[in-house]
Amino acid sequence: MSVKSQLAKFTAKSSHFLLRNILKRGGTSLPGKLAVKIDPEVLQTIEKEFDLVIVTGTNGKTLTTALITRVLRAGGYTVVTNPSGSNMVQGIVGTLLTTKVKPSPNGKKPVAVLEVDEANVLSLAKAIEPKYFVLTNLFRDQLDRYGEIYSTYDKIIAGINQAPNATVITNADSPIFARGSYSNQRIYYGFDNVKEADFKDLKAPTNTDGILSPTDNSVLHYDFITYANLGRYFSTTDGFKRPKLDYAVTALNELTPKSSAFDLDGTSYKIAIGGLYNIYNALAAYAVGRTFDVSPADIKKAFEEDKQVFGRQESLNVDSKDVTILLIKNPVGTNSVIDMMETEKDPFTLITLLNANYADGIDTSWIWDAEFERLHDSRLASLSTGGERYKDITVRLKMAGFDLDGTYQKTEDILKAIDQAPTKKIYLAATYTAMLQIRAVLKNHGYIQEEY
């Protein structure tokens, strides 16, 4: 490390100290900014200290990052991650610089597992060369902010091209990930839980995208679909098909709203969270773990021991009501939440809160692509709405054929909705800022202790 780098590192550390302890702000963004200003070389220093794993994609980044971290730690690696959700480049550099790195207990190089926004993959890869890219999925997500999926994918590819020696651990079930020219080694994970005798000839539902074959732009068919545009796809016009899997879900054993039991390459695992999409996150973490030589037994331990990692889907007790808060932000994510509610065995109440602030996406059109109609086949007993855009979501659900039990225009009134719900089980599905608002109310009334 050059003197300059050491100085940069010192500056980052002390500014972090200042921020944290004197200004009482938990920020990880500023220290990185200071360090990069002083010396870009400091980044090379980071490269020498860590194997860098970048996790990117539309949905599931946070949980996948957390699971990979647990899995690698269970395998004896020292792991640094960006849990603060600050996934801008500056913040990441700040995290890496201000973390004390102990050698890995297993004697191998420490690993940095970082959640990175699709748009930031290139700038990060330019700064620090990753060893692995983990791609979760690509769906349209708040187009007013993120743009179209093909241009988003191009940005990720540009990042991958910055690091030709890195390995790409990618979701084989997503056709868009079969696109793009890069020479990197690829490791594929996906679902192989359907027997050939049960294969059908399917097409993805109309409200998904990214369903064109990269060879000739024909619409792809599927032997089976897991959800949205994910599944075992093939082309009817040429030999193009889903690549051979290196790591696979080989059986789905039991799916409930709060747990998922499944086999990966023939071994049984369980995670304390519902939703098929979360099995993809676990599968990605498993693929990374196996790539790093973590044993199935250690991966099992990582999945099953620590429940805290699944904190996003949190359950609260509100005056003896069992309330689960679910974040919704785009059609595929919402459909996944609906999938999960379909596995609920008890009658339940759904309260849906819609906001359209910048962080939610200012265009509410996406609610029309979420398949709320499917809730007719669930044990839904009562339905109400709220949020700043309560009108939009109310009409959406009305046109889906539901009679609403209430519309709550003020966040404070959601407590009434909870109180008056006819069931013990309540799902609160909310967009990001609506979730923050309802959490604040729940915290004010003592139902939540910790900060989100």
Partner 1 sequence: MADYTLELAHLYGDLMNTYGDYGNIIALRYYAKQIGVDVDDRLVSLNEDFNPKAYDFVLFGGGQDYEETIVANDLKAKADGLKEYIENDGPLLAVCGGFQLLGHYMEMADGTKVDGIGVMDHYTTNMTDDQVKTLNGSRLTGNIVIKNNETGEEYHGFENHQGRTFLGKGEKALGTVTTGQGNNGMDKTEGVIYHNVYGSYFHGPIFTRNGNLAKRVLATALSRKYPDINWQAKLNQVPTETF
> Using the rule CB under 8 A, which residue among 80, 124, 128, 149 binds partner 1?
149
Closer of 27 and 214 to partner 1 (Cβ): 214
Q: How far is the CB of 219 from partner 1 (least distance, A)?
A: 6
Total length of the chain = 452
* Dihedral pair phi/psi, residue 399, rounded to 5°: -70, -15
| Residue 144 among the catalytic residues | no
Taking CB under 8 A as the rule, does residue 354 contact partner 1?
A: no
Task: Specify the stretch interacting with partner 1 by CB under 8 A; choose among 65-73, 87-95, 147-155, 430-438.
Answer: 147-155
Taking CB under 8 A as the rule, does residue 399 contact partner 1?
A: yes
Task: Specify the stretch interacting with partner 1 by CB under 8 A; choose among 39-47, 120-128, 339-347, 367-375.
Answer: 367-375
Taking CB under 8 A as the rule, does residue 365 contact partner 1?
A: yes
Kindly identify the residues of this chain, within the stretch 192-221, that bind partner 1 according to CB under 8 A.
203-204, 206-207, 209, 211-212, 217-219
Q: How far is the CB of 181 from partner 1 (least distance, A)?
A: 16
> Using the rule CB under 8 A, which residue among 7, 143, 251, 441 binds partner 1?
143
Taking CB under 8 A as the rule, does residue 413 contact partner 1?
A: no
> Using the rule CB under 8 A, which residue among 400, 404, 440, 441 binds partner 1?
400
Closer of 92 and 367 to partner 1 (Cβ): 367
> Using the rule CB under 8 A, which residue among 50, 189, 247, 366 binds partner 1?
366
Q: How far is the CB of 269 from partner 1 (least distance, A)?
A: 34
The answer to whether the beta carbons of residues 5 and 38 sit under 8 Å apart is no
Q: How far is the CB of 133 from partner 1 (least distance, A)?
A: 22
Nearest to 95 by CA among 12, 1, 212: 12
Taking CB under 8 A as the rule, does residue 395 contact partner 1?
A: yes
Taking CB under 8 A as the rule, does residue 391 contact partner 1?
A: yes
Q: How far is CA 130 from CA 44, 51, 116, 183, 220, in A?
A: 11, 7, 12, 15, 32
Residue among 144, 238, 319, 363 flagged as catalytic: 363
Taking CB under 8 A as the rule, does residue 369 contact partner 1?
A: yes
Q: How far is the CB of 335 from partner 1 (least distance, A)?
A: 13
Contact flags string 64-103 toward partner 1, x per CB under 8 A: ----------------------------------------
**Which positions touch partner 1 (CB under 8 A)?**
140, 143-144, 148-151, 203-204, 206-207, 209, 211-212, 217-219, 362-369, 391-392, 395-396, 398-400
Residue numbers annotated as active site: 363
